[in-house]
């Protein structure tokens, strides 16, 4: 587990202390230009200046993150490479506008570049083919079109030109560090539920990549937040050595820990507030369980019928039912389920965005309204935070005290072994964590929201129910198409003839496999074996020892090399 990214981190143990400090200072200097406050990111991004509002940019960010995760898994690169590509993309759009740069082209370039940076290079041809198929997954002819020489050459020129743009925009800052290494190193010191804790925290880190956290906080801060949330999720008590608390080893302040945790949690709250989405998620999450599928369908139909009659009270009542189902599912599931839920929702929007132009406009309109609800809720939360004056802080403190009292009453059996300040802060986080994944909190919050804005929410709910149903149908089609596309280019794809549930399971397994790979030092090193020149003997050995997934790539490389020799 040690040395997850070998050689990637600088060591400052030079005999000359001054030299070491100087080196560290310069490192900080270089890294410093890629960190800024959330306010700056949200209010002064280049896209904002070009008229793209915050909610659309947030959507676009999730869109290219989902794209990169999909692209990376199909190219069979380790998670670290995907993470590097995502960070390159975040940094690019920190400096350049979505109005002037196609996010999928930039994302493809970032994956191509990250492959080389992380010593897991993929041939440009493969990157182009797989990217093109993902971008045009609704188009059955795309898989064939990209193989025409003119189309391919055009894409190639685009990507190579894009690489120059990305490199220049990033200032050739190619050294990227990730939370994975500090996360693994820290958890090794714990004696509690290591594997489960690492797995859940890892998933929080992966999901957090979709946010702008990595533009605000350093990797070890994000690692600390992920461990904190994972412990809450698993109800594990993290060790404290006397007066020293576990997070102090991360050189992280309580404020940073709180901020990172809250922003990670926002990701899940956003995805669960719309009831229609909840129903959709429940249906998909059910997988092969027909029993859970049927009730979901019935509920949707019932809700629709009742909504058409437009009785307010009935709508409110019906809205609660899917939420409860969703929360039940969440209670049973794990963070992995959380990851999948997030992926699924983003897939819907992805397919939505792939529509033709006419539909695109309409869909975007619907999407904007859909996000509008989420955004309004966000504004409410943000307003509460940012608008806090001295008096409001006192009120907030009182509220916290009230919550604290309530929670103590509810969970008398769970002792809180923290100092008063920590109790307040951590309880607040517990509230948010439970709000994201807990049954009761979700209900209460939902009810309060609905009570406050019954008129607006009612209209939104109706639209989202219809929209959800439509998106569900489209999603079904898209998954079939994707399966077909997937099976065509690579004859060795074993998922070709299987249904979409198993495809989803396959992706799930990929995530786990990648987790194992990234955790396993030997596997991390394996990427270097492919691109290092060596004698034929060693080459043969490596080929025999390569995991099955890498055989085709090795073959391609050798064939390509042989072809080049002939050409020369």
Q: In the range 13-52, which residues lie near other proteins by CB under 8 A?
A: 13-15, 19, 22-23, 26-27, 30, 33, 50-52
Q: By CB under 8 A, tell whether 3 contacts other proteins.
A: yes
Angle, vertex CA 100, rays to CA 99 and CA 102, nearest 5? 90
Q: How far apart are CA 80 and CA 82, in angstroms?
A: 5
Please tell me whether residue 177 binds other proteins under the rule CB under 8 A.
Answer: no
Q: Could you tell me how far CA 23 lies from the centroid of its own chain? A: 33
Residues 6+ apart with CB under 8 A from 178: 5, 80, 83, 84, 87, 205, 219
Min. distance of Cβ 320 from other proteins in angstroms? 36
14 or 401: CB nearest other proteins: 14
Positions 52 through 71 that interact with other proteins (CB under 8 A): 52, 56, 60
Angle (CA) 370-479-365 rounded to 5° is 20
CB-side exposure of 292: number of CA atoms within 13 Å? 16
Is residue 149 close enough to count as binding other proteins by CB under 8 A?
no
Distance in Å, CB of 60 to other proteins, minimum: 7
CA 350 to chain centre: 14
The residue within the footprint of other proteins, chosen from 171, 239, 547, 549 (CB under 8 A), is 171
**R_g of the chain computed on alpha carbons:** 25
Among residues 332 and 522, whose Cβ is nearest to other proteins?
522
Does 359 bind other proteins (CB under 8 A)? Our answer is: no
Minimum CB distance to other proteins smaller for 6 or for 547 = 6
Residues 107-126 that bind other proteins (CB under 8 A): 112-113, 116-117, 121, 123-124
User: How many angstroms separate the Cα of 499 from the Cα of each of 72, 480, 495, 512?
Assistant: 22, 8, 8, 20
For other proteins, the closer of residues 98 and 428 by Cβ is: 98
User: How far is C-alpha 339 from the chain's CA centre?
Assistant: 7
Rounded Cα gap, residues 95 and 274, in angstroms: 32
Task: Return the residues of window 490-549 that contact other proteins according to CB under 8 A.
Answer: 521-522, 525, 528-539, 542
Q: Which of 164, 237, 385, 494 binds other proteins (CB under 8 A)?
A: 164
**Could you say which residues in the range 191-250 bind other proteins, by CB under 8 A?**
none
The reply to whether 568 sits near other proteins by the rule CB under 8 A is: yes
d(CA 266, CA 128): 34
Which of the stretches 73-81, 173-181, 204-212, 233-241 binds other proteins when contact is defined by CB under 8 A?
A: 173-181
User: Are 86 and 132 in contact, with CB atoms under 8 Å apart?
Assistant: no
419 interacts with other proteins by CB under 8 A = no
Please report whether residue 557 would count as binding other proteins according to CB under 8 A. yes
* # residues contacting other proteins (CB under 8 A): 85
Neighbouring C-beta atoms of residue 289, cutoff 10 Å: 10
CB of 99 to other proteins, least distance (A): 5
In sequence order, the 6+-apart residues with CB closer than 8 A to the CB of 535 are none
Among 139, 173, 453, 501, binds other proteins (CB under 8 A): 173
């Amino acid at each position: 587990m040690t040395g997850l990214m070998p050689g990637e981190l600088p060591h400052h143990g030079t005999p000359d202390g001054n030299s070491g400090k100087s080196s560290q200072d310069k490192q900080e200097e270089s890294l410093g230009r890629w960190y800024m406050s959330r306010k700056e990111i949200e209010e002064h991004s280049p896209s904002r200046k070009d008229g793209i509002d915050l909610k659309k940019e947030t959507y676009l960010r999730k869109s290219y993150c989902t794209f990169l995760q999909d692209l990376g898994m199909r190219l069979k690169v380790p998670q670290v490479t995907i993470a590097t590509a995502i960070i390159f993309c975040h940094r690019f759009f920190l400096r350049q506008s979505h109005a002037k740069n196609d996010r999928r082209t930039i994302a493809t370039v970032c994956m191509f570049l990250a492959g080389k940076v992380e010593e897991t290079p993929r041939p440009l041809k493969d990157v182009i083919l797989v990217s093109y198929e993902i971008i045009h997954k609704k188009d059955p002819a795309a898989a064939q079109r990209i193989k025409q020489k003119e189309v391919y050459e055009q894409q190639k020129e685009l990507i190579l030109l894009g690489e120059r743009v990305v490199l220049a925009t990033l200032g050739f800052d190619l050294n990227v560090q990730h939370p994975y290494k500090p996360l693994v190193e820290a958890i090794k010191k714990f004696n509690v539920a290591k594997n489960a804790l690492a797995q859940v925290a890892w998933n929080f880190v992966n999901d957090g990549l979709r946010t702008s956290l990595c533009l605000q906080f350093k990797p070890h801060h994000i690692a600390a937040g992920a461990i904190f949330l994972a412990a809450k999720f698993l109800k594990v008590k993290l060790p404290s050595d006397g007066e020293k608390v576990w997070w102090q080893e991360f050189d992280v302040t309580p404020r940073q820990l709180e901020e990172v945790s809250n922003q990670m949690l926002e990701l899940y709250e956003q995805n669960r507030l719309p009831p229609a989405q909840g129903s959709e998620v429940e249906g998909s999450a059910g997988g092969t369980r027909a029993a859970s599928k049927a009730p979901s369908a019935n509920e949707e139909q019932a809700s629709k019928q009742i909504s058409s009659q437009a009785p307010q009270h009935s709508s409110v009542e019906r809205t609660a039912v899917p939420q409860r189902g969703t929360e039940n599912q969440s209670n049973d599931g794990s963070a992995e389920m959380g990851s999948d839920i997030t992926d699924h929702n983003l897939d819907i929007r992805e397919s939505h965005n792939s529509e033709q132009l006419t539909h695109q406009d309409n869909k975007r309109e619907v999407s904007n309204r859909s996000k509008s609800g989420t955004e309004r809720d966000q504004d409410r939360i943000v307003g509460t935070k940012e608008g806090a004056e001295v008096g409001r802080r006192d009120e907030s403190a009182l509220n916290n005290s009230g919550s604290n009292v309530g929670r103590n009453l509810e969970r008398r059996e769970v002792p809180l072994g923290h100092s008063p300040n920590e109790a307040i802060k951590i309880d607040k986080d517990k509230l948010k964590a439970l709000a994201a994944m807990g049954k009761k909190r979700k209900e209460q919050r939902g009810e309060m929201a609905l009570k406050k804005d019954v008129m607006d929410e009612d209209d939104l709910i109706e639209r989202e129910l219809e929209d959800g149903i439509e998106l569900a149908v489209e999603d079904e089609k898209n998954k079939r198409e994707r399966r077909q596309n997937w099976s065509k280019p690579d004859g060795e794809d074993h998922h070709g003839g299987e249904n979409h549930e198993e495809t989803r399971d396959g992706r799930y397994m990929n995530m786990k496999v990648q987790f194992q790979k990234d955790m396993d030092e030997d596997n991390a090193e394996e990427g270097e074996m492919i691109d290092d020149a060596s004698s034929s003997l060693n080459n043969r050995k490596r080929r025999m020892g390569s995991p099955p997934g890498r055989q085709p790539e090795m073959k391609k490389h050798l064939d390509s090399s042989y072809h080049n020799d002939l050409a020369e």
